[in-house]
Amino acid sequence: MKKLLMSIMGFMMLQGCNTGEQALLPSKEYFVEVVKELSGEEYYGRSNYKDGAVRAADYILGEIRKVGVETVPQDVILKAWEGKERPQLHALQPEFKSLITPCGEGRWAGAPEWKLSYLQHFTHPLNAQRGAVELVVDGDTLNHTVQYTLKEFSPTFKGDLDVVYLDNKYLNPDNFCKYVNSGAFKDKAVVLDWDRFRETMYTFPGIEVYKTYFMPMENVGALICKSEELLPYFKSRNHFNTPMPVFMVDSTFPADAKKVHIDVEAEMVENDAHNIIAYIPGTSGSEKHFILACHYDHLGVCGDEIFYGANDNSSGSAMLLNLMRHFKQNPPEYSVMFIFFDSEENNLLGSFFYADNPLLPLEDIAYFVELDMIGDNGNTVYCQISDAGERGLQYLNELNSAMPVPFAKLDRHPMDDYADHYPFGIKGVPAIYMEMNGDTNKNYHSPRDTFENFFSDNYDRIFNLVKGFVEGYK
The CATH number of the domain where 236 resides is what? Answer: 3.50.30.30
| Same domain assignment for residues 330 and 366 | yes
Share of the chain above pLDDT 70, in %: 94
Whether the full predicted model's pTM is greater than 0.85, yes or no, is yes
- Domain range for 307: 25-126+269-472
Nearest Cα residue to 44 out of 316, 231, 303:
303
**Is there a single domain that holds both residue 414 and residue 462?**
yes
Residues 241 and 179 in one domain: yes
Task: Give residues with Cβ within 8 angstroms of 25, minimum separation 6.
Answer: 15, 16, 325, 326, 329
Q: At what angle do helices 390-402 and 459-472 cross, to 10 degrees?
A: 120
pLDDT at position 4 is 37
pLDDT in tens, 134-168: 999 999 999 999 999 999 999 999 999 999 999 99
Strands 222-226 and 431-437: unpaired
pLDDT tens digits, 221-232 = 999 999 998 888
d(CA 249, CA 143): 10
The pLDDT > 90 percentage for the chain reads 80
Give the domain-ending residue among 225, 249, 265: 265
Type of residue numbered 141: T
Do 70 and 42 share a domain, yes or no?
Answer: yes
Whether the per-residue pLDDT at 61 is higher than 80: the answer is yes
409-414/380-385 β-pairing: parallel
Q: What is the mean pLDDT of residues 113-136?
A: 95
Say which range, 84-88, 209-213, 313-317, 416-420, has the weakest mean pLDDT: 84-88
Q: Which of 205, 233, 265 corresponds to the end of one domain?
A: 265
* Residues 199, 335 within the same domain: no
Asked, for residue 287, whether it belongs to a domain, the answer is yes
Q: Name the pLDDT band for 23 (thresholds 50, 70, 90).
A: low
The per-residue pLDDT for 91 is: 67
pLDDT for 203: 79
Choosing from 265, 290, 308, the residue where a domain stops is 265
In a domain, 6, yes or no: no
Q: Is the pLDDT reported for residue 417 higher than 60? A: yes
Residues 300 and 428 in one domain: yes
- Establish if 13 belongs to a structural domain: no
Least confident of 9-23, 50-64, 290-304: 9-23
Q: How many domains does the chain have?
A: 2
* CATH classification of the domain holding 56: 3.40.630.10
Q: Which whole number is the average pLDDT over 174-202? A: 91
Provide mean pLDDT across the span 27-39.
Answer: 98
Q: Tell me, yes or no, whether 232 and 379 share the same domain.
A: no
Rg (CA), the chain: 24
